[in-house]
Amino acid sequence: MSQRPYNFAPGPATLPQEVLEQAAAEMLDWRGTGTSVMEMSHRGKAFLSIHEQAIADLRELLAVPPNYRILFMQGGALAENAILAMNLSRGGPVDYVVTGSWSAKSQKEGRKYADVQVAASNEADGHTTIPHPSGWKLRANAAYLHLCSNETVNGVEFHELPDLKALGSDAPLVIDFSSHAASRPVDWSRVAMAYGGAQKNVGPAGLTIVIVREDLLGHALPICPSAFDYKIVADNDSMYNTPPAYAIYVSGLVFQWLKRFEYQGAHGVAGIERRNIEKAKLLYGCLDASAGFYANRVAADCRSRMNVPFYLPDERLYAPFLAGAEERGLLALKGHKSVGGLRASIYNAMPLEGVQALVAYLQDFARSHG
């Protein structure tokens, strides 16, 4: 296949070309079954093997401890905001840290089911910093503390998750890791539950990944729909109702690709993290070296490796910038409508060459318009 354009979309987002080619090759006949994965019974031997392999591979890639369950659900991260509150809050006090538009939505949804307190917020500085955990207002009896570990719109990422125990809190930490899942390891000694929509960094839309510590299961509010009760989903191995079968299959191919991935002698998630660090360094380095032509407003210690929002010095430059980018095969660089500007999402599947091509364009554009 010829070189495709580089797609910097925030989600649904670019997938590894190898994965798309394999899915295409297996589209009509998955391994001699005579059927597409889309056409199989989700309870048949063929699909069960795909499902189990995907869960085992994800467990291996993220080093998920044995006392955590991996659930494959539906509804996306937005539905999960409600589902997690119904499952974990017990209707009582819960704390949220707001660092951008996604965590702001999470706490708002939580209010329908629980007594929500915002423990810390970076709203006053336009979502560009992470308030230091030592200043968070943690309630002793909170059923959980929620944060978004990578804010896709604002480009703010936790490079270290808080150690709540060290802060004197026993609350389980719940993270929305939608837009950087599998881009770096997860410190499970600090995280009780992680969830995310697959369509940012893992696979196609339709699959929601929930990784939850076993002792948190079994406390859903009576109003929680059965299909969204973590205990019921876990007891049925994510097969209580029909799972998003094709999205699971393609995500499974991505997990296999990640397991094969090697970069500078590092493998799997360690390898992809190393390349992600290099890509981010290259892009931020270019923005910072532009003498104020390009501006990323996020504090240096919490800049996202995945989502890089930036601005031009003049509103009139956006249209020619985006047109010129598209001409060079650099797609979907428009910023989120709530914050404007530009945004490059450089997820796992974006090769280093894609970021190099973007940087070359950024330099040319600044030279001809600066």
Ligand X SMILES: *Cc1c(COP(=O)(O)O)cnc(C)c1O
Residues of this chain that interact with ligand X (CB under 6 A) are 11, 76-78, 102, 148, 152, 176, 178-179, 197, 200
Q: Which is nearer to ligand X, 196 or 271 (CB)?
A: 196
Tokens of 289: 């070296």
- Least spacing, CB of residue 152 vs ligand X, in Å: 3
Omega prior to 243 cis, within 30 of 0: no
Q: Which is nearer to ligand X, 77 or 325 (CB)?
A: 77
Set 57, 95, 200, 257: catalytic member? 200
- Least spacing, CB of residue 94 vs ligand X, in Å: 17
Q: Which is nearer to ligand X, 178 or 238 (CB)?
A: 178
Q: How far from chain centre, in Å, is Cα 96?
A: 18
Give the residue at shortest CB distance from ligand X: 76
Tokens of 361: 């364009």
200 is catalytic: yes
- Least spacing, CB of residue 79 vs ligand X, in Å: 6
- Least spacing, CB of residue 132 vs ligand X, in Å: 21
- Least spacing, CB of residue 265 vs ligand X, in Å: 31
Residues 6+ apart with CB under 8 A from 271: 261, 262, 263, 264
Set 30, 102, 136, 257: catalytic member? 102
Set 30, 95, 136, 176: catalytic member? 176
Q: Which is nearer to ligand X, 20 or 78 (CB)?
A: 78
Q: Which is nearer to ligand X, 42 or 343 (CB)?
A: 343
Cα–Cα distance for residue pair 187/63, rounded to 1 Å: 9
Catalytic residues: 102, 176, 200
